[in-house]
Structure formats: C-alpha cells, structure tokens
C-alpha cells in the first residue's frame, strides 16, 4: 500500500488548528495528494487560502467534498452532526469519512446517522495546543503523537488500514480502540485535567483576599502551567464535556473521592499518605518523558 494509504483527494472541513495542521502535514508528507477545504467562517477561509492550508479553499462544504476519496471533519464535536449532514448529498459513493474529534462515541453515532451509506472511521489525533483558528496549524503537529482510530463494529478492515497508513505517513503512531474505551481513557488523560485547570484558574480569579495582580505576579509557583491549559478554546471544550458526559462524570466521581482522601490526610497530618502519592506521581512524569511524550528539561525548557 502506498504511503498515502491510497487516498488521492482529501477534503478537510473546518480549517482551524487541527484542519490546518492536517492540510499542511499532507502537503509536506504527501505532496501528490490533492487537498480541498471548507470552513463556515469566511475570514477563516480567506486566511486558510493565504496560508495555503489546503490546495483549494472552497465556498461550500459540498464543493470541497465533491471529488474526495477521504473527508476529514475537523470541527468541534458538537458540530460534527451538522457538518456531516451538510456534505451528505455531495459525497462520492466510495468516499471514506473520518474526523479528529476529542470524544468518539457521540461522533460515531452522529456520523452513522447522517451518513448511513458511507464508511465512517472516527479518529482522534491526540495532539494539540491551546491555540485555535487558521493561524494555529503547523505541519509537524502529529509527529510522534498517537492517533486513535475507533472503527465501528463491522467497518471494513481495509478502510481502517488505509486511514491508519495515512496517519502514520504524517508521523503519528496509530492505535485502534473501542469508542467507549477511548472516551474513558481520554476523560482521565485529557478532559479531567482540562476541567481542573479551568476550575483552579476560575477559583483564583474569583478570590477576594488575594489580588489579581498577586495571582499574576507569583504565577511561576505552578499556577501559570494551569493557565496554558485553561486558555484552550471555549467552544471546543464546552462540546467535549457535553459529548463525553458519562465518562467525565464517572472519572470526576473517582477524582473527588481521591481529593477528599488527600484533604483528610492534610487535616490529620498524615505525611506518609502525601509522600507516597507524590512519589507515585513523580514516577508517572518520568514514564511520560521516557516514552518521548514530553521534554525532560526543567520547567518545560523555559529560558530563565
Ligand atoms: P478550531 O481551531 O476552533 O477550528 C474549528 C473550525 O471549524 C473553526 O474555524 C470553526 O468555525 C469551524 N466550524 C465549526 N462548525 C463548522 C461547520 N459546521 N462547518 C464548517 N466549519 C465549521 O478547533 P480545533 O482545535 O482545530 O478543533 C477541531 C476538532 O479537533 C475538535 O473536534 C476538537 O475536539 C479536536 N481536537 C482538538 C485538539 C486541540 O488541542 N485543539 C486536539 C485534538 C483534537 P467558527 O470559528 O466559525 O466556529
């Protein structure tokens, strides 16, 4: 199978961070693959054309997908159903549909309902930044990162293989997973950490006895690392929590119990419990570095 996974024409719907990065990565790694793109925002379409995020920026979603053999929806998860309905009438018969959404069960359902006659293989490249929009994309976003495919039961293995091969050519490592399991894993590794960051930054900004200027001035104590995550796109994250509700609530229940246990340890002066946990968490950070998922430099390599 060729490096493109045999795709010749890829259409990208939504030209923000993920859509733009996908277009740029395709251009870099597979220049022979023709790319088209559409975004509902005219200003985004214009900027996408100026940056060359895809070969041709189209004025409608239907036009963008008209000759595609792969369509990738790169819109917020709450917009997947609408984006899929918009292209339903214009899709070529054999086209494969995929996406990059951060939750998978609801997207799988939305695609199956809107496009019952097409092969839909949902995917989630676990790669991103806190930036969004047409300026944010870059070609190397997926390099060395995992891309999780969640083919529905009965999906042709050949279609999954083609998509898998494409993501690998763009530098990603591919894993196949059941959609519910994906949603549970990502609730722990991504969604709850975002919720905690949103909470801690919100709490700090609501405090009356610590001034806002003090929060900003002393942020290097740890707070500023939460603010990076808490600066993530509000629409994208609203949709993630509304669409992965069950898994997030389940994990939040466990997290709340663990937090209460820590509260108890602090109140009762139980240093051993605190030390044991902090030693285990330090080991997790080391494993992430060992697996090449982050840099070992102190303070994330910031220049002091
Ligand atoms: P983004 O930068 O905000 O880009 C999304 C683009 O889609 C926006 O330009 C938006 O336009 C457009 N859009 C919304 N609804 C549309 C529709 N029905 N038809 C056409 N265009 C539409 O967001 P992103 O960060 O690329 O996220 C895209 C997807 O990737 C989301 O599903 C997200 O969960 C997933 N993801 C994100 C990350 C990350 O770190 N950001 C990582 C992995 C996966 P408007 O601005 O007008 O709404």
Fold of 181-292: 6-phosphogluconate dehydrogenase C-terminal fold (1.10.3660)
Can you give the pTM of this predicted structure?
A: 0.95
- pLDDT (tens digit, 0 to 9) for every residue of the chain, 304 residues total? 445 568 999 999 999 999 999 999 999 999 999 999 999 999 999 999 999 999 999 999 999 999 999 999 999 999 999 999 999 999 999 999 999 999 999 999 999 999 999 999 999 999 999 999 999 999 999 999 999 999 999 999 999 999 999 999 999 999 999 999 999 999 999 999 999 999 999 998 888 777 888 888 888 888 999 999 999 999 999 999 999 999 999 999 999 999 999 999 999 999 999 999 999 999 999 999 999 888 888 888 888 7
Instruction: Determine the length of the chain.
Output: 304
User: Which residue from 73, 76, 186 has its CB within 8 A of the most atoms of ligand 1, so it is best to mutate?
Assistant: 76
Beta carbons of 11 and 36 less than 8 angstroms apart: yes
d(CA 246, CA 249): 5
d(CA 125, CA 149): 8
Residue appearing with tokens 């839909």:
120
Which residues on neighbouring strands pair with residue 13, listed in sequence order? Answer: 38, 73
Q: How far is the CA of 220 from the centre of ligand 1 (A)?
A: 30
Ligand 1 lined by 76 (C-beta under 6 Å): yes
Q: How far is the CA of 191 from the centre of ligand 1 (A)?
A: 16
What is the separation, in whole angstroms, between the first and last Cα of the chain? 48
CATH architecture of 9-177: 3-Layer(aba) Sandwich (3.40)
Domains 9-177 and 181-292 share a fold: no
Half-sphere CA count of 89, side-chain side, radius 13 A = 6
Maximum alpha-carbon separation in the chain: 67
Domain boundaries, the chain: 9-177, 181-292
């Amino acid at each position: 199978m060729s490096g493109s996974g045999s795709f010749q024409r890829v259409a990208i719907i939504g030209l923000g961070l993920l859509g733009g990065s996908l277009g740029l990565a395709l251009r870099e790694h597979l220049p022979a693959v023709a790319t088209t793109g559409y975004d509902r925002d005219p200003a985004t379409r214009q900027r996408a054309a100026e940056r060359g995020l895809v070969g041709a920026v189209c004025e409608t979603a239907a036009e963008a997908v008209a000759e595609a053999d792969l369509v990738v929806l790169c819109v917020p998860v709450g917009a997947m159903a609408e984006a899929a309905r918009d292209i339903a009438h214009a899709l070529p018969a054999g086209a494969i549909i995929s996406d990059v959404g951060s939750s998978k069960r609801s997207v799988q359902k939305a695609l199956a309902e809107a496009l019952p006659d097409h092969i839909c293989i949902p995917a989630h490249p676990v790669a991103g930044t806190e930036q969004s929009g047409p300026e944010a994309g870059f070609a190397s976003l997926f390099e060395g990162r995992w891309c999780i495919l969640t083919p529905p039961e009965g999906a042709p293995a050949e279609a999954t293989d083609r998509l898998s091969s494409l993501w690998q050519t763009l530098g990603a490592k591919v894993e196949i997973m059941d959609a519910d399991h994906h949603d549970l894993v990502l609730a722990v590794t991504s969604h709850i950490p975002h919720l905690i960051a949103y909470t801690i930054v919100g709490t700090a900004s609501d405090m009356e006895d610590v001034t806002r200027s003090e929060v900003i001035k002393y942020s290097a104590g740890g707070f500023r690392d939460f603010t990076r995550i808490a600066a993530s796109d509000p629409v994208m994250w609203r949709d993630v929590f509304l669409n992965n509700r069950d898994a997030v609530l389940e994990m939040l229940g466990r997290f709340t119990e663990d937090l209460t246990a820590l509260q108890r340890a602090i109140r009762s002066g139980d240093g051993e419990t605190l030390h044991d946990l902090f030693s285990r968490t330090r080991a997790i950070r080391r494993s992430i570095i060992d697996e090449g998922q982050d840099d070992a430099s102190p303070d994330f390599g910031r220049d002091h």
